[in-house]
């Protein structure tokens, strides 16, 4: 199994060794034991460790905080990492930058897709609310129409009453 060094991770993710060590401590539950070997021991990272760190680097660059990253890792998300340390050494600075840009774009695409799904749900909720409001409006119109009919009937009855009172006065 290929092993990566902290220096490999620094180069690939464009951060300091201290940052790699902080990430290894913070996200230790998703990393191999050799990613956090203890004091004065050499930290070695597996390919899977590098995938975890790739996601951490990408999400950190996009402004996400540790709880968000923990949630993504817990849900099984991982980033892309080189297949071997030798492959990393062969990459030029431009290639490494392109890889990082590709990872960032993939992450943004994933985020956009999740936001799109959220908007679809919100849109469906809004459509249901509009439908409910239209039904309520139609009910009110029906009630108002019924009230107008009652007011006309009341007006007719009042006129009949006045006519009957007028006749009664004439006869008395």
What pLDDT digit, counting tens, does each position of 120-134 carry?
778 778 788 878 878
Number of domains forming the structure of the chain: 1
Taking each helix axis from N to C terminus, what angle separates 93-171 and 47-61, rounded to the nearest 10 degrees? 50
From the CB of residue 4, how many other CB atoms can be counted at a distance below 10 Å? Answer: 23
Residue 6's φ and ψ, nearest 5 degrees, are -60, -40
Task: Report yes or no on 86 lying in a domain.
Answer: yes
Total count of residues recorded for the chain: 172
Per-residue pLDDT reduced to its tens digit, 4-59:
899 888 888 888 999 999 999 999 999 999 999 988 899 999 999 999 999 999 99
Residue 39 domain-assigned (yes or no): yes
Query: pTM for this structure?
Result: 0.51
> Could you tell me the CATH number of the domain that includes residue 86?
1.10.1660
Domain that holds residue 66: 6-91
Beta bridge partners of 45: 4
- Report if residue 56 sits inside a domain: yes
* Residue 73 located in a structural domain: yes
């Amino acid at each position: 199994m290929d092993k990566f060094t902290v220096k490999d991770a620094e180069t690939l993710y464009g951060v300091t060794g201290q940052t790699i060590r902080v990430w290894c401590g913070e996200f230790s539950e998703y990393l191999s034991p050799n990613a956090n070997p203890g004091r004065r021991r050499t930290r070695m990272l597996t390919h899977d460790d590098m995938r975890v760190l790739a996601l951490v680097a990408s999400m950190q660059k996009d402004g996400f905080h540790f709880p968000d990253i923990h949630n993504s890792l817990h849900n099984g998300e991982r980033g892309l990492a080189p297949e071997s340390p030798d492959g990393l050494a062969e990459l030029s600075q431009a290639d490494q930058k392109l890889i990082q840009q590709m990872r960032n774009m993939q992450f943004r695409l994933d985020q956009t897709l999740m936001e799109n799904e959220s908007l679809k749900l919100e849109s469906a909720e809004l459509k249901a609310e509009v439908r409910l409001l239209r039904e309520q409006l139609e009910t009110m119109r029906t009630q108002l129409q019924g009230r107008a009919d009652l007011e006309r009937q009341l007006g007719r009855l009042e006129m009949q009453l006045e006519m009957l009172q007028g006749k009664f006065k004439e006869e008395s």
